[in-house]
Structure 1
Amino acid sequence: MALGTLVKTLQNIMRKDAGINGDAQRIEQMTWLFFLKIYDAKEEEWEFHDDSYESIIPERLRWHSWAADHKDGRALTGDALLDFVNNDLFKTLPNLELSSNAPLRQVVVKAAFTDANNYMKDGILLRQVVNEIDSAVDFTEYKERHAFGEIYETILKDLQSAGNAGEFYTPRAVTDFMAQVLAPRLGERVADFACGTGGFLTSALKILAEQVKTPADQELYTHSVYGVEKKQLPYLLCVTNMLLHDIDNPEIFHDNSLESDVREWRHKQDGQFDVVLMNPPYGGSENASIQNNFPTALRSSETADLFLGLILYRLKKGGRAAVIIPDGFLFGQDAAKVEIKRRLLEEMNLHTILRMPQSVFAPYTSITTNILFFDNTKPSEGVWFYRMDMPKGYKHFSKTKPIRLEHFNDVKAWWSDRREIIEDGNPKAKFYTVDELRNGNFNLDLCGYPHEEEEILPLDELIRNYKEERARLDAEIEQKLAQICEILGIEA
């Protein structure tokens, strides 16, 4: 069965079940089932290569023991299957006893089921779902597993509804472009501190996989990525994604990256990374206990600001980063934003800001975003700004016409041959010195979009956009007043 057809078939079965309400629960239901089947296939590999391998999952709970239907009337179904899943599988796996030095491939099993749920209430329908998954793909076959891995991201994109607090699906073209620019190398460690479903990590792995030539290279590959995800469903999706990409001991942790004191990371070499690729959650707010994990100057209620602060401490000397950030950060004048921008220029080497079109994240949000490129090599000498315009023939990106990797071709060409570009009297690409940015109180809202088409937006998004525009105008007014006061020699 084609994988796209499989997903539709599973959705149609689940819609008949009274226990499942909406796509989010259908995704979660499919995900833990896919995880168990994929993990079972990986265990078959591990057993083949290591005679001493012992599964952390009790034999009765392993996929091949209960899910396979041999059509002999012995397969669990109906109330018996529901009882097994609810009262054995879901009570045992979250409570597995692990040794202090348990390998990560064991740890992820317990973490994956700690907050997972079985929403289905009809055991016969559950048996139909299990049978479809069990017969659809042979994950022991390398080609089939990798084919599924490539389509896995598409399944997520098609099924995920818009998230809250800025948690949106990052288009694969964007993650691939950012990874290609940073060009991770075998032996380097790549991190995403709010990794979601693992999109940035898989983009990095595609580049690293091409460099694997020897068993030693393969060993480096399997320890090349690190991720942290606070929410259970994307965490489980990410772990499954890593297994599909042959990361047998995925260093993906079900945790909150902001819950530890950032100052401690400066002295922990194993907590710093060569490459950071991120789209931090934005629009959310953090409480005082989280903010207290940061130096006073970096404390902010805005989640995205805190993640940028975190990166300042966890980017290794010589390391490089690419981070997606909303417009509000560029023109924001509150103390924490100004301090982060100052440090990016004076302590890091912020060298490029890519202004992206408004509808990159359509249909999930119209919030305009940017990519900050910086490294931990030296203080910045100045910043190049480049405005990425909509490709010809596009008014907006959409679910049916998403942004594609080839849409970055002009950016790539400019990247290797940097020059200032003026179009219709407005700068499309321009270099600003650190002194110029400092004199503007670190307002980075430069080389923006001169014309915007009117668009009917949902009320909550309209209000959010109005607030963002008001903040931008307030920042411009404050900047102009400061300049006037300086000229007149009076206090602002």
Structure 2
Amino acid sequence: MITGEIKNKVDKIWETFWTGGITNPLTVIEQFTYLLFIKSLDEAETIKEKEAEILGIPFEGIFPEDKQHLRWHRFKNLGSPEEMYHIVSDEVFPFIKNLHGQEDSAYSKYMSDAMFLIPTANTLEKIVDGIDTLPLQDRDFQGDLYEYLLSKISTAGTNGQFRTPRHIIQMMVELVKPMPEDIMIDPAMGTAGFLVAASEYLRKHHQDLFLVQGLKEHYHNTMFYGNDMDRTMLRIGAMNMMLHGVNNPNIEYRDSLSEMNKDQDKYTLVLANPPFKGSLDYEAVSNDLLKIAKTKKTELLFLSLFIRILKPGGRAAVIVPDGVLFGSSTAHKAIRKEIIENHKLEAIISMPSGVFKPYAGVSTAIIIFTKTGAGGTNHVWFYDMKADGFSLDDKRTPIEENDIPDIISRFNNLEAEKERKRTEQSFFVPIEELRENEYDLSINKYKEIEYEEIEYENPMEIIEKIGTYEKEIMDGLKEIENLIKGAN
């Protein structure tokens, strides 16, 4: 979370954009991100130069000898704001737009129509000075910064343009454990938070994949896929992926639910938090998606999509609103039945309603399932998350209570979960019981509450004690009264 002094710095930069005449929040975010990207490129180059010097090996960076003046640490120290403005607008910006020569790369595709819109040299100087004080070396900070910037969009939470909290994304990635051979997608990618977290997980847990040429090529070119319908998000996502070391992610401008999306049996892993609110006309939805559940609700259509685009054996870890778990419409029941009976539903993790504050207060859950086409659900694991390490109000300040490590630990050892009682925080529910309850997946349907019996004193004894206390008070008052009379 962006808080305290850092928050004040970011707010001041935002205010500089506004006073400089850029008042559209998405435009501010875009221009802000371009400059963050330019600074991060320079910092990454500096680190690689130092590593090459220590190892005594030659280094060829992205800034050629004749382009060294385009680096952040060079142009920020130029003599005048006008000179810096000229360098950034006329040289640096065209340089980053053409950074990837391949016309079909995600970066080139979505940077091609990017525009430098900061209007004056003085405004640029103030923004550069402000950004220069931000700790961009911290990748977690970069993600939190995106989240905070997107929170400033007035429609956030309605059109889905806000980041899923980073710690929730990381938990989901830890639960599904991406592998070097995976082909993964987020069909509503936004700023590519899930894809970035998966790439970071692989770098941490499977470093050897970069030693195998085929896997290394797969990582950079054919592992990561993302769709979105907002070109600004696609640009930010492409830059985000590149900053995190993925050279050529497959990012597309696409309505994932429409006929234009022909993907089928293509991916081995889906990680997503698709848009919840709103409904679509049947004409706007791919007919394939309506076969499982005829509905206009986007959250149900996305579940149908996940089933269609996964390969047999492919896994999904996705966030859904609670209504998906217990909705009584024909479509709600149909999609739950499809996942439970025809595939393998593994887990339902119920999250508290404050997880997405301050953007939205909706209660949500994580569904984890494997596409099989032949069933496989025997027992479903339920977990009742009560805390995620942050307060559940709009401030979302860090707290000690955090169920996330426990969730990961228990999910990694489901054999030990079989003996847990329904009164505990996690437990199994057999498929027969789900069938009896029309495939209801809300945890409260199955959770048992243990009531503790409290014994109270006999009412007559309580009345007797009150009488005793009353007598003691009256005696005390009488004694005080006598003392006052004696003193007079």
Indicate the structure whose relative CO is greater, using CA pairs within 8 Å and at least 6 residues apart: 1
Unaligned runs of 5+ in 1: 138-143, 452-492
Change over 3 Å in CA distance of 1:392–1:67 after alignment to 2: closer
- Counterpart in the other structure of 2:30: 28
Aligned equivalent of 1:11: 14
Task: Report the TM-score when normalising by structure 2.
Answer: 0.72
Q: 2:391, 2:398 within 8 Å by CA — same for their partners in 1?
A: no
Q: Which has the larger radius of gyration?
A: 2
Deviations 1:61-113 (A, max 9, x none): x95599925535595467x799869xx969x999x8x99x7351xx4234135
Shift of the alpha carbon at 1:189? 1.8
Whole-angstrom CA distance in 1 between matches of 2:96 and 2:389: 51
* 1:409 aligned residue: 405
- Residues 337, 43 of structure 1: alpha-carbon distance in 2 compared, 3 angstrom cutoff: farther
Alignment pair present for 1:235 and 2:234: yes
Distance 2:317 2:324 in 1: 15
Alignment partner, residue 475 of structure 2: none
Which residue of structure 1 aligns with residue 435 of structure 2? 438
Equivalent in the alignment of 1:396: 392
Change (3 A) 1:402 1:307: farther
Cα separation, partners in 2 of 1:76 and 1:307, compared to 1, 3 Å: farther
Task: Assess if the C-alpha contact under 8 Å between 2:9 and 2:130 holds in 1.
Answer: yes
Q: Deviations over 1:267-326 (max 9, x none)?
A: 6xxxx1111111111012223332244343334221121111111111112111111100
- Closer/same/farther in 2, CA of residues 30 and 322 from structure 1, 3 Å limit: same
Deviation of 1:21 (Å) = 5.0
Instruction: Name which of 176, 189, 198 aligns with 1:195.
Output: 189
State the 1:431 CA deviation: 3.3
Percent identical across equivalent pairs?
24
Structure 2 partner of 1:102: 103
Aligned equivalent of 2:382? 386
Q: 1:434 deviation in Å?
A: 3.1
Shift in Å, 1:132: 5.2
8 A contact 1:11–1:26 mirrored in 2: yes
The letter for the 1-side match of 2:283 is S
1:150 equivalent to 2:148? Answer no
After TM superposition, give the deviation of residue 38 of structure 1 in Å: 4.5
Q: Which residue of the other structure, out of 332, 346, 352, is the alignment partner of 2:347?
A: 352
User: Which residue is 2:467 aligned to?
Assistant: none
Q: Over residues 139-172 of structure 1, what are the superposed CA-to-partner deviations in whole Å (9 max), with x where a residue is unaligned?
A: xxxxx87x24231011122332233145442111
TM-score, normalising length from structure 1? 0.71
Residue 288 of structure 2: SS of its match in structure 1? coil
Q: How far apart in 1 are the matches of 2:81 and 2:425?
A: 67
Contact 2:354 2:361 in 1 (8 A): yes
- Change in CA separation of 1:301 and 1:386 when aligned onto 2, cut-off 3 Å: same
Root-mean-square deviation (CA, aligned residues, Å) is: 4.2
Pairing of 1:12-411 with structure 2 (within 5 A): 12-20=15-23, 24-38=26-40, 63-64=70-71, 68=75, 71-73=78-80, 75-76=82-83, 102-104=103-105, 107-112=106-111, 114=113, 116=114, 120-130=118-128, 133=131, 147-161=137-151, 162-210=156-204, 211-213=206-208, 214-216=210-212, 218-223=216-221, 224-260=223-259, 264-266=262-264, 272-297=266-291, 298-377=293-372, 378-391=374-387, 396=392, 398-401=394-397, 406-411=402-407
CA shift digits 1:351-405 (9 cap, x unpaired)? 2111111211122221110111101244133342424242499873543325889
Query: Following the alignment from structure 1 to structure 2, what is the Cα–Cα distance between the partners of residues 332 and 49?
Result: 61
Alpha-carbon separation, structure 2, partners of 1:387 and 1:407:
10
Which shows bigger deviation, 411-420 or 397-406? 397-406
8 Å contact kept, 1:191–1:276: yes
Aligned length: 420
What runs of 5+ residues in structure 2 fail to find an aligned partner? Answer: 50-56, 450-488
Q: Distance in 1 between matches of 2:35 and 2:389?
A: 41
